[in-house]
């Protein structure tokens, strides 16, 4: 008789619930925070602020993201060997922290060059210098989060995520309120300061959590006999430590390269949109305003329901991996069909809501008719947008990471084609067409890949 598969018991289900609940809370706070920023700094200010996203994404990809994943994997492997399970965290920090400090120094010292030549907006120079300090904080707390994910303890990462968001919003509110009380208009730099403060708080929470774990571990560990020479010897041979470092690097480097390639293409897209809008006929202020409304107001609202599909994705990856390991392709197929139906229904419901209420939402929430127009137009993305995130998770569970990377590159290149060719002719409408075309293409590629995989039975 076949053993019935589960999701590995309560830790995974409970951990997913904690992360999902925290994600919904932080997204809700972040959503209203975006509304506050849009009213405080205006459309052009939001456009300038959004230009920092490529720099932050590339820095995070280079210094933290892949190391968090690698640490999580190796910690999970060492959970049965209590003397070794902290070594992946130490190894990851050994690599990630120096990288983040180097990245911080480069961004801080080269801020004028990055602002003028890469972001094409000199006003981002001072913002880049503030942003640089957030990178080491982000790297440290990401590595520690990797440890907690590895031991299936999501309480600390969830608490760090929530307190980070609260600290960010609180900092911006207090500093901007103080400036307004003195009759001064707050600078958009305040928003970047809030980001850095939030990362700092998140790092502190993570450090406190891991120190508590270390204290508990050392207090419950058996007494160590001190040899005659009076020196304590490491329980982990130097060769073993080197092997862990090499293992972390071996897993992290391909992931880092993949993320950097994707982020570089996304950065080209982000920086090019205002520039191509100027070719369409807009002046710099109008181009940045249109870009800020799209990326800082309309898109966060369209992406808001994605919190639910993200939680489904968290559950799907281990479930699909577990089922696939048994060779039961019928159950894999059934899971895929249920996912497509769920995301399809959810996508069409959200599309209908955004299409009908888009103009009202733009005027009421952001006091921007243009935001309402974008929300209405972007509503057609919903069925494909929510489907893509879950199909990607299914393919990850089937071991198709390389295929996912290639398909994302293809979709991004299509979107870039619309940026460079359609925007100068049709304005921002040309980019919206590109977004829809790339999401449809990505959905079709995912579905085709899954169809071929199931048909061949491998």
Is residue 270, in this structure, part of any structural domain at all? yes
Same domain (yes/no): 121, 210: yes
- pLDDT at position 2 is 42
Same domain (yes/no): 333, 367: yes
Same domain (yes/no): 266, 396: no
Question: Over the stretch 131-152, which tens digit does the pLDDT of each residue have?
Answer: 999 999 999 999 998 888 777 7
Same domain (yes/no): 268, 317: no
Query: What CA–CA distance (Å, rounded) separates 322 from 324?
Result: 6
Spatial CB neighbours of 239, under 8 Å, sequence gap ≥ 6: none
Is residue 41, in this structure, part of any structural domain at all? yes
SS3 128: helix
SS3 74: helix
Half-sphere CA count of 329, side-chain side, radius 13 A: 9
Same domain (yes/no): 271, 363: no
- pLDDT at position 215 is 78
Same domain (yes/no): 355, 253: no
Contact between 383 and 375 (Cβ < 8 Å): no
- Count the domains in the chain: 2
For 399, left (φ over 0), alpha (ψ -120 to 50), or beta? Answer: left
Whole-prediction pTM value?
0.73
Same domain (yes/no): 276, 309: no
Helices (H) and strands (E) in the chain, counts: 19, 0
- pLDDT at position 314 is 52
* Residue 422 dihedral angles phi and psi, to the nearest 5°: -90, -35
Contact between 316 and 69 (Cβ < 8 Å): no
SS3 82: coil
Report DSSP state, residue 61: I
In percent, how much of the chain has pLDDT > 90?
A: 31
Question: Which tokens sit at 240?
Answer: 């073993």
- pLDDT at position 238 is 55
SS3 377: helix
Is residue 200, in this structure, part of any structural domain at all? yes
Query: What CA–CA distance (Å, rounded) separates 357 from 391?
Result: 28
Same domain (yes/no): 40, 151: yes
Same domain (yes/no): 338, 211: no
Same domain (yes/no): 151, 217: yes
Same domain (yes/no): 112, 32: yes
- pLDDT at position 439 is 92
Helices marked H in 221-328 — which ranges? 238-280, 284-293, 299-303, 306-325
Regions in the chain scoring below 70 on pLDDT: 1-17, 19-20, 77-84, 219-241, 307-326, 397, 399, 457-458
Same domain (yes/no): 174, 319: no
Is residue 263, in this structure, part of any structural domain at all? yes
Query: What CA–CA distance (Å, rounded) separates 431 from 326?
Result: 44
As a whole number, the mean pLDDT across the chain is 82
Q: How far is CA 427 from CA 24, 270, 326, 373, 420, in A?
A: 34, 15, 51, 14, 11
Is residue 322, in this structure, part of any structural domain at all? yes
**Full domain range(s) for residue 179:** 10-221+238-280
Domain boundary among 264, 280, 296: 280
Question: Over the stretch 28-59, which tens digit does the pLDDT of each residue have?
Answer: 888 788 888 888 888 888 888 888 988 998 99
Spatial CB neighbours of 336, under 8 Å, sequence gap ≥ 6: 391, 394, 450, 454
- pLDDT at position 312 is 61
Is residue 290, in this structure, part of any structural domain at all? no
């Amino acid at each position: 008789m076949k053993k019935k598969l589960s999701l590995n018991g309560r830790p995974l289900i409970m951990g997913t619930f904690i992360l999902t609940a925290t994600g919904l809370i932080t997204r809700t706070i972040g959503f209203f925070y975006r509304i506050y920023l849009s009213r405080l700094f205006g459309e052009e200010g939001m456009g300038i602020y959004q230009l920092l996203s490529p720099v932050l994404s590339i820095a995070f990809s280079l210094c933290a993201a892949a190391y968090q994943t690698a640490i999580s994997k190796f910690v999970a492997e060492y959970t049965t060997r209590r003397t070794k399970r902290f070594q992946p965290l130490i190894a990851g920090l050994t690599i990630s922290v120096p990288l983040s400090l180097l990245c911080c120094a480069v961004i801080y010292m080269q801020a004028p060059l990055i602002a003028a030549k890469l972001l094409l907006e000199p006003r981002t120079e001072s913002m880049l210098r503030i942003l640089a300090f957030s990178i080491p904080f982000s790297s440290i707390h990401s590595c520690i989060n990797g440890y907690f994910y590895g031991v299936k303890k999501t309480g600390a990462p969830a608490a760090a995520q929530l307190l980070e968001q609260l600290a960010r919003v609180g900092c911006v509110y207090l500093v901007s309120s103080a400036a307004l009380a003195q009759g001064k208009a707050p600078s958009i730099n305040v928003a970047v300061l809030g980001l850095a403060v939030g990362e700092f708080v998140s790092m502190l929470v993570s450090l406190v959590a891991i120190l508590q774990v270390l204290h508990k571990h050392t207090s419950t560990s058996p007494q160590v006999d001190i040899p005659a020479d009076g020196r304590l010897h490491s329980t982990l041979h130097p060769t073993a430590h080197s092997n862990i470092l090499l293992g972390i690097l071996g897993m992290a480097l391909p992931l880092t390269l993949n993320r950097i390639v994707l982020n570089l293409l996304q950065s080209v897209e982000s920086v090019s949109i205002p520039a191509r809008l100027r070719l369409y006929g807009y002046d710099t202020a109008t181009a940045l305003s249109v870009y800020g409304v799209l990326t800082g107001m309309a898109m966060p609202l369209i992406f808001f329901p994605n919190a639910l599909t993200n939680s489904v994705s968290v559950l799907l990856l281990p479930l699909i991996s577990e089922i696939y390991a048994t060779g039961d392709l019928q159950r894999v197929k059934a899971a895929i069909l249920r996912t497509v139906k769920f995301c399809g229904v959810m996508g069409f419901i959200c599309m209908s809501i955004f299409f009908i209420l888009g103009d009202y939402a733009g005027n009421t929430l952001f006091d921007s008719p243009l935001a309402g127009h974008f929300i209405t137009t972007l509503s057609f993305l919903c069925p494909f947008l929510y489907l893509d995130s879950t199909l990607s998770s299914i393919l990850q569970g089937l071991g198709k990471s390389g295929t996912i990377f290639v398909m994302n590159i293809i979709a991004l290149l299509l979107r870039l084609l619309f940026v460079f060719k359609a925007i100068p002719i049709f304005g921002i409408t040309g980019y919206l067409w590109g977004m829809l075309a790339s999401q449809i293409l990505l959905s079709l590629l995912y579905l085709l890949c899954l169809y071929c995989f199931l048909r061949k039975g491998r």
